[in-house]
Structure 1
Amino acid sequence: MTTLQTRPAPPTAIRPRVMARSGLHILLIANAATVGWFFAQAGFASNTLIVLGRLAGLYGALLMAFQLLLVARLPWLDRRIGMDRLTSWHRRTGFGVLWALLTHAVFITFGYAEASSLDPVNQLVNLAETTEGVLRAAVALGLIVLVGAVSARWARRRLAYETWHFIHLYTYVAVVLAFTHQVSVGTTFTSSQAARTYWYTVWGLALSAVFLGRLALPLWRNLRHRLRVSAVVPESDDVVSVYVTGRDLDRLPAQAGQFFLWRFLTRDRWWQANPFSLSAAPDGRTLRLTAKAAGDGSAALRRLKVGTRVFAEGPYGAFTTLHRTRPDAVLIAGGVGVTPIRALLEDLDGHAVVIYRVATDRDAVLYDELCDLALAKGAELHLVTGPIVPDRLAPRELARLVPDIDERDIFLCGPPAMMAAVLRSLADLGVPKRQIHFERFSLAG
């Protein structure tokens, strides 16, 4: 199955992910320095607790604006970093926001209590009754604590996505309340028109990014392309492929390896979005997704009727050839994780080795297509079957299948446990992290 091909030269430019990540770091550091400068220009209170509390409030609000940017789903960032990593950073930043604002509330309350004859509880009540915006800030903090609680791992696993997402929307209420509190009573902003203008600009850009990436762009693309189901093809007893057509699909900037959040506008499922990867490289005429029945949403795909309207958000994801670092590649798929791998094989240049891990031959979805593609592209294809334990993709086995694995790009997609095991094997084999590409496909806040 292997033929010789002309190998493309590896890219020499700065890697897209490094460029985007560095840009975000520079943006955050520059704004943190600007906030610190405006804070110092406003002068310091005599009470150290009040000074530290005000500074914590400013940086907590700045992190909140940065959080919005991370989940704005701007195409430039998403293609270079990926929704999974951006969402993970958003989550970690969120806990930073929570602790910064709790520090702000505690230090301010104890600082003013130290300067008065009131105890901290009565001081807080007094501030809420006499100082503009403090009551709004208290409500905002309560909402942020609530969102933080439901975002903790133990709670997130127990909540349906729709429930979690609905509660998460209260963050925007908290943003408005906290922002109006800051600009109305924050000494940094009441003492400087330049600081107020800067703060309005920061928040205006952050909210505009969210509006553009999560509302305006998806609406515009769906109005333009008018997607509909054109065919529903069962691939096995529990796997189905859905073909989607529309207008001007050659202008939709989708790439092999990416995914969409799909809403099929039926009476009982219009409200539910599911992340499914493209299982074939976009050809400008049709998009195809392939899914395994793992819940009510994916099981209902088999009952879709031709002509059903589709609302698709995306394309999303950095699991593409944009991040190639080497001329040759290894594509490792597990189960239905083969869908983006199959699309990538269609799109890849250079020699490729495909390793498809399944429990039994019957679980090898799209295997016939993989065989045809491998033959056409001169790729090697290995079907690895057997029980999950013992691991069939241990370091020794991977080295046997691909002796030069440390000289190739690795594209990996499959169940979480399988991906974790393969990542450990790749680390043991000394494969550089920059050559390993994977993405966790899931709905993200």
Structure 2
Amino acid sequence: MYTATSPRVSRMSSARTAYLLLWGFLLVNLVVVELLFVRAVPSHNTLGSIGRFLGLHLGLAMALQVLLIARLPFFERRIGMDKLTNWHRWTGFTIFWLVVLHPTFVLLGFAELDQISFFAEIPNLGGQMPVLLGMIAAGLVGVMAVTSVRAARKRLSYEAWHAVHLLVYVMLVLAVIHQVYEGRSFNASVPASVYWWGLWAFAIGALLTNRLLVPLVRNARHQLRVVAVVPETNDAVSVYVGGRGLERLRARPGQFFWWRFPGHNSWWQVNPWSLSAAPDGRTLRLTAKAIGATSGGLRQLPVGTRCYAEGPYGALTTVRRTKPDAVLIAGGIGITPIRALLEDPNLTGDIVVLYRARTAGDAVLLGELRQLAQQRGARLHVLTGRTSRENQPFSPAGLRGLVPDIAERDVYMCGPAAMADAVLHTLRALQVPPRQRHIEAFRMAV
């Protein structure tokens, strides 16, 4: 029987602690916001009160969103980007509807008070600068929400989508200014002001620290540069990055970095690419498929190009193991963290690798994978062909046929979101416990 070592038990406990902290933070702040609303000076009418109530929750949702995009290492390494991206997406749509409803009820309340129509009240309030800034911020939220709808995401490149979402920083500045002048509930008393602006100071401080200060310090220390560029297939390339003291990054197989190549790409172009080989303290290797302009341009990266990396992030690591045996599942370029995991000496026991690709020729790093599988005594299945009634490797019957004892194994999976959802559905049907499921999907994130 497998007995987890102390560090692994600690890390699993830390994952539960991370979830408890997230939910605890949300619930405690919701309670405080309700108290702020109750204790504040009431509005002139019911419609205005509803608008103020929604506005308070909108401010809280925005502060939570700032923390979610701050890339807090504690949560990134314990919960994983995939699950945090889900939080980010649902928080974003919550903000969108609050942005719609908050000004609507405020305008209705003032229209009733001024005895004019709803539409006549819009220019009346819009003539006040703090309100106008809030309206502009609301418009920017609308733009980001529209471009995040699935149909729009399919038509936008990652680079274009990411550029649009940089507007979040403009929106935040406008929203904070709006709150300074219009926040009746949290400016009503000293304790309320201390709480509210302390919350925002914490959120913005976390954002600046983890997205700007820490990466600047780390990159100045490690002096990352491209040392080799190796084409893998017609549309995939590996980039080797060297630097000083890379072992101090404490990167693990299965994790990823956010990568920038200043001078070769625009400063704002950043992509999350996983390590495609176990870090050895001398180089970091990423492997990317030419999907967008940035990934497609990696093949032309000159050796010596400066590299700017944020990380390491991700919970797809062996420290979360709970069983002696494992299944590694990859879809397309999702093979990169899976290949690195297969190289991890901490991945022991019986190992099965399932690699889903359109054709064997599309299977990136297949030669390395076969060699590693042979060295580790792992069983490798390359699953090709279109999905059809006859070819459903990730259906319950298909997955059980490939790995009959899957419910007794840890399952690591990385691939497209649709494939990840299908695998997760099957794992639930096969009664694989949640603690044994370690999944990261390709989802857009800022």
Same fold (TM over 0.5): yes
The answer to which of 333-342 and 161-170 deviates more is 161-170
Q: TM-score, normalised by structure 1?
A: 0.89
What are the residue-to-residue correspondences of 1:330-349 with 2, within 5 Å? 330-347=327-344, 348-349=347-348
Q: Residue 3 of structure 1 corresponds to which residue in structure 2?
A: none
Alignment of 1:203-218 (within 5 A): 203-218=200-215
Indicate yes or no: 2:365 matched with 1:366: yes
Where 2:74 maps in the other structure, the secondary structure is helix
Matched, 1:9 2:7: no
Which of 21, 28, 31 is equivalent to 2:29?
A: 31
Secondary structure of 1:254's partner? coil
For residue 296 of structure 1, report the CA deviation from its aligned partner. Answer: 4.0
Cα pair distance change 1:151/1:384, threshold 3 Å: closer
DSSP-derived class of the 2:259 partner:
strand
Structure 2 equivalent of residue 121 of structure 1: 119
Are residue 247 (structure 1) and residue 257 (structure 2) matched? no
For the structure 1 residues 28 and 422, does the alpha-carbon distance in structure 2 shift closer, same or farther, using more than 3 Å as the test? closer
Paired with 2:182 and 2:416, the residues of 1 have a C-alpha distance of: 50
| Pair 1:377-2:389 in alignment | no
Task: Report what 2:412 is aligned to.
Answer: 411
- Residue 413 and residue 269 in structure 1: after superposition, are their counterparts in 2 closer, same or farther (change >3 A)? same
Deviations 1:353-387 (A, max 9, x none): 22233444444433343344334434333334445
CA distance in 2, matches of 1:104, 1:436: 39
Query: Which one of 220, 224, 239 corresponds to residue 221 of structure 2?
Result: 224
Show the 5 A alignment for 1:103-114. 103-114=101-112
1:101 to 92, 99, 102: 99
Equivalent residue for 2:77? Answer: 79
Q: Distance in 2 between matches of 1:344 and 1:442?
A: 21
- Cα displacement (A) at 1:420: 4.1
Pair 155,306 (structure 1): closer, same or farther in 2 beyond 3 Å: same
Say whether the 8 Å CA contact 2:415–2:442 is kept in structure 1: no
Contact 1:231 1:306 survives alignment (8 Å):
yes
Distance in 1 separating the partners of 2:216 and 2:300: 26
Taking structure 1 as reference, are residues 303 and 51 closer, same or farther at Cα in structure 2, changes over 3 Å only? closer
Task: State the distance in 1 between where 2:403 and 2:427 align.
Answer: 11
Range moving further from structure 2, 302-311 or 367-376: 367-376
- Report how far residue 268 of structure 1 moved: 5.6
Q: For 1:194-245, what per-residue CA distance to the aligned partner results, in whole angstroms no more than 9, with x for missing partners?
A: 2112111111111111111211222222111111122223334443322211
Q: Is the partner of 2:186 in helix, strand or coil?
A: helix
Maintained 8 Å contact 1:245/1:285:
yes
- Structure 1 window deviating more from structure 2 (65-74 vs 427-436): it is 427-436
CA distance in 2, matches of 1:173, 1:15: 38
Using the alignment, how far apart are the partners of 1:387 and 1:98 within structure 2? 38
Please, what is the CA RMSD of the aligned residues? 2.6
Query: Is contact 1:228–1:246 with CA below 8 Å preserved after alignment?
Result: yes
1:440 and 2:441 correspond: yes
Q: Give yes or no for contact 1:15–1:323 (8 Å, CA) kept in 2.
A: no
The range that moved more, 214-223 or 420-429, is 420-429
Equivalent residue number for residue 46 of structure 2 = 48
CA contact (8 A) 1:156 1:164 kept: yes
In structure 2, distance between residues paired with 1:159 and 1:387: 25
Instruction: Work out which of the residue numbers 177, 180, 183 in structure 2 matches 1:186.
Output: 183
Matches within 5 A, 1:211-290: 211-267=208-264, 272-290=269-287
Structure 2: give runs of 5+ residues left out of the alignment. none
SS of residue in 2 equivalent to 1:149: helix
Displacement after TM superposition at 1:46 (Å)? 5.0
2:376 and 2:2 map into 1 onto residues whose CA distance is 13
Greater RCO structure (CA 8 Å; 6+ sep): 1
Q: Which residue of 2 aligns with 1:60?
A: 58
Q: Assess if the C-alpha contact under 8 Å between 2:159 and 2:294 holds in 1.
A: no
Q: Structure 2 vs 1, CA of residues 335 and 134 (structure 1 numbering), >3 Å: closer, same or farther?
A: closer
Quote the offset at 1:256 in angstroms: 0.7
Aligned length: 439
AA of the residue aligned to 1:107: F
**2:353 corresponds to which letter in structure 1?**
V
SS, match of residue 291 in structure 1: strand
Secondary structure of the corresponding residue to residue 187 of structure 1: coil
The one-letter code of the counterpart of 1:82 is G
Q: TM-score, normalised by structure 2?
A: 0.89
Q: Indicate how the Cα distance of structure 1 residues 7 and 286 shifts in structure 2: closer, same or farther if over 3 A, else same.
A: farther
Residue in 2 that maps onto 1:399 = 400
Aligned residue type for 2:137: A
Please say which of residues 261-270 and 348-357 is displaced more in the overlay: 261-270
* Cross-structure match for 2:300: 303
Does 136-145 or 359-368 show the bigger shift? Answer: 359-368
Letter matched to residue 85 of structure 1: K
Deviation of 1:443 (Å): 4.8
What SS does structure 2 have at the residue aligned with 1:133?
Answer: helix
Q: Are residues 268 and 72 of structure 1, via their aligned partners in 2, closer, same or farther at CA, if it must alter by over 3 Å?
A: closer
Aligned residue in 2 for 1:425: 426
Identity score, percent:
51
Alpha-carbon spacing, 1:45–1:239, altered in 2? closer, same or farther (3 Å): closer
Relative to structure 1, the CA distance from residue 247 to residue 425 in structure 2 (aligned partners, 3 Å threshold; closer, same or farther) is: same
Post-superposition offset of 1:415: 4.0
Compared with structure 1, are the counterparts of its residues 395 and 134 closer, same or farther at alpha carbon in structure 2 (3 Å cutoff)?
closer
In the other structure, the counterpart of 2:316 is: 319
* Structure 1: gaps spanning 5 or more residues: 1-5
Q: Which amino acid aligns with 1:247?
A: R
Cα distance in 2 for residues equivalent to 1:272 and 1:372: 35
Cα pair 1:82 1:439 within 8 Å, conserved: yes
